[in-house]
Amino acid sequence: MAQTSNDFGVIRPEEIYRKDEFFRRVGIKQAGYRTARRNGLKVIAAQGRVFVRGSDWIAYLDSLNSVDA
């Protein structure tokens, strides 16, 4: 699970983040999240909560890079 440190901007591939923690670390809001989801960001929904794997965020960013290249 994500640590409680204040690592703004740091997403580690081996960690899983609650949606609110993910927003804070990445610096996005709901509209940016919706855009990422529409464009392929995978999330985990469990028991009424949403989580994002660090590895899925990194894969999403890599996919954006391959589209732009």
| pLDDT, block means (10 residues), the chain with 69 residues | 65 96 94 96 97 97 76
- Tell me what pLDDT residue 65 has: 79
The sign of the torsion formed by the CA atoms of 15, 19, 21, 25 equals positive
Rounded to whole angstroms, the Cα distance separating 43 from 7 reads: 21
In a domain, 33, yes or no: yes
Give the Cα separation of 6 and 12 in Å (integer): 13
Residue 6 forms part of a structural domain: no
The whole-angstrom separation of Cα 69 and Cα 19 is: 29
Structural domain includes residue 64: yes
Domain residues for 63?
16-68
pLDDT on residue 69: 54
Please report whether residue 10 resides in a domain: no
Q: Give the number of domains in the chain.
A: 1
